[in-house]
Structure 1
Amino acid sequence: MHYLRSPHPPDALFANREQIQADIKWLQRQFPLLSAEQFSLVPHELFSTVSVSAPKPYAGPKRIGFYYQWLLTELIHHHPQLRLEAEEIQVNEAGKTRGAIDFLVENQGQLEHWEVAVKFYLAHHNRWLGPNAKDALDIKVARMIDHQLALSSHPSFCQQFPHWRPTQKRLMVQGRLYRHYGQDSELPDWPPVNVASVSGWWCWPDDLPKDRAFAMLARDQWLSLPNFSELSPIVPDTLRDIDRTCHLLDDTQTPWFVVPNNWPDNAPSLATKK
């Protein structure tokens, strides 16, 4: 099988200052993945006017979820009406970690509990599946609501941190949703999503269209997409025998996921709706 290398060496990921600045602006303008009518969300416009002129270098783990959370921390610190009370609060029960709360944020005098994530999902057979198919949006949402947001009401949290009593619990999930190329099918019906986040295509290697050029995206280019002219085009035939999902950009500035031929053979069971 062909192994396709990332355009950037691993130690360079999330290190480009211009990319960090672009990603902060992406986070400010990108619509939430989930429907605001169905879920309690951090308001989309909350960070729209915040200025982060000179972000510090990112020094965390080279994973997009940690990087996204760091970007959000930068925006909270620069917001005139927000104060970061705490983040990554470990909740312990009987000597074991029950979970961690992402953010406790003071918003105009009210303490709020936020659970956040950046995710990319592909529409397939009435489900939103992750690029490696081990993840699914229905499962992610169920866990964020039933487990993560519930942590700030759990007796162990109340006992450990009696001075913190959040009055609001909110989700902040951003990213991008991808339709199956060539399939005129409806979007998955659960969970309800914001259709403004549907902005890409996915396909198996043999279905990649021949009428456009493609380039590979590095992991630190998944948020704010670079201009296609800045990337090196690939030969589509090199994708034929891939054993991992590849994230591409075409010459119309549209993002694509190309999945291995056996995708999604490891998809998880459907989450139970509440």
Structure 2
Amino acid sequence: MFANREQIQADIKWLQRQFPLLSSEQFSLVPHGLFSAVSVSASKPYAGPRRIGFYYQWLLTELIHHHPHLRLEAEEIQVNEAGKTRGAIDFLIEYQGQLEHWEVAVKFYLAHQNRWLGPNAKDALDIKVARMIDHQLALSSHPSFCQQFPHWRPTQKRLMVQGRLYRHYSQDTDLPDWPPVNAASVGGWWCWPDELPTDREFAMLARDQWLSLPEFGELPPIVPGSLGNIDRTCHLLDNTQTPWFVVPNTWPNNAPSPAPKK
């Protein structure tokens, strides 16, 4: 998982060009295109945890190290309070003479009943954004952080959330209204098994192929009708290079309650 050097190079390029999930008009974001001209060789292997979020953060660290105008001051800074970990700050970055606090994530969400829900429905974009703003970005202003690290005083706080958003294939509905997203990040479909169209071919995507999508012809096609009784969400690619999530018939029976709107 995440060991293929060609895939790593493709994923770095994906990160450089992929649009943010969130609206730059509503949120303070790391500027799109900041890394577009950075050249990174994928000679260094990834050796971290086998979860896509850790892998994404490692890719971003590589780009930061190779950026001529960014300096990585620190990452994964643990903030402790009364002997307990209150949280961790993703990145402290020196950029244009200022110290910035960045919180980053890579996420995939499905539009359903005016919400963006995760493929397993345990996660939702409204909840993720609320936590990133109210908890994670707030850490660098927390008294415990200021006491532990008095030499760090970030003057700018930014989010960097990339990934992909998926519409329901059989329902041409408006996008969820909160949080405001970048429509350019909408790039796939989702459906229940009996809604999967029969006029195209599909192949299964491995977890390490979710960012930069491989060519459909490089993947073994799945047997039509084989997903009828799935008990977990499957990520597919069709023969038009469009990604799909096919969810179990029970989805989204475990969706969390919405976060309050800001």
TM-score range, shorter chain: over 0.9
Runs of 4+ with >3 A deviation: none
Q: Paired residue for 1:138, among 105, 114, 126?
A: 126
Instruction: Supply the distance in 1 between the matched residues of 2:151 and 2:91 (Cα, whole angstroms).
Output: 15
Residue in structure 2 matched with residue 190 of structure 1 by the alignment: 178
8 Å Cα contact 1:90-1:101 kept in structure 2: yes
Partners of 1:241 and 1:260 within 8 A in 2: yes
Structure 1 residue 239 corresponds to structure 2 residue 227? yes
- 1:64-213 pair list within 5 angstroms: 64-213=52-201
Task: Calculate the aligned-residue CA RMSD, in Å.
Answer: 0.5
Letter in 2 for 1:223: L
Asked if structure 2 preserves the Cα contact closer than 8 Å seen for 1:55 and 1:74, the reply is no
- 2:56 is paired with a residue whose SS is helix
**Cα distance in 2, alignment partners of residues 16 and 86 from structure 1:** 27
Give the aligned partner of residue 8 of structure 1: none
Give the aligned length. 262
Q: By how many angstroms is 1:45 displaced?
A: 1.1
User: How far apart are residue 108 of structure 1 and its match?
Assistant: 2.2
The residue type equivalent to 2:226 in the other structure is T
| Contact 1:20–1:55, Cα closer than 8 Å, also in 2 | no
What corresponds to 1:48 in structure 2?
A: 36
Post-superposition Cα deviations, 1:203-261, rounded to whole Å, max 9, x if no partner, equal: 00000000000000000000000000000000131110000000000000000000000
**Letter in structure 2 aligned against 1:224:** S
Tell me, what secondary structure is at the counterpart of 1:46? coil
2:46 to 47, 58, 69: 58
Q: Matched residue of 1:101: which SS? A: strand
Structure 1 unmatched runs, 5+: 1-12
SS at 2:225's partner residue?
helix
Kindly indicate whether the alpha-carbon contact (under 8 Å) linking 2:21 and 2:182 is maintained by their aligned counterparts in 1. Answer: yes
Q: Distance in 1 between matches of 2:24 and 2:172?
A: 25
For the residues of structure 2 that align with 1:218 and 1:109, how far apart are their CA atoms?
41
Q: Which residue in 2 is equivalent to 1:273?
A: 261
Give identity over the alignment, percent.
89
What are the ranges of 5 or more consecutive residues in structure 2 without an aligned counterpart? none
**Secondary structure, aligned partner of 1:24:** helix
CA contact (8 A) 1:178 1:201 kept: yes
Distance 1:208 1:60 in 2: 35
Whole-angstrom distance in 1 between the partners of 2:129 and 2:63: 24
Q: For 1:67 and 1:118, how far apart are their aligned partners in 2? A: 10
Q: In structure 2, what is the Cα distance between the partners aligned to 1:220 and 1:119?
A: 14
The question of whether the paired residues in 1 share the 8 Å contact of 2:88 and 2:136 is answered with yes
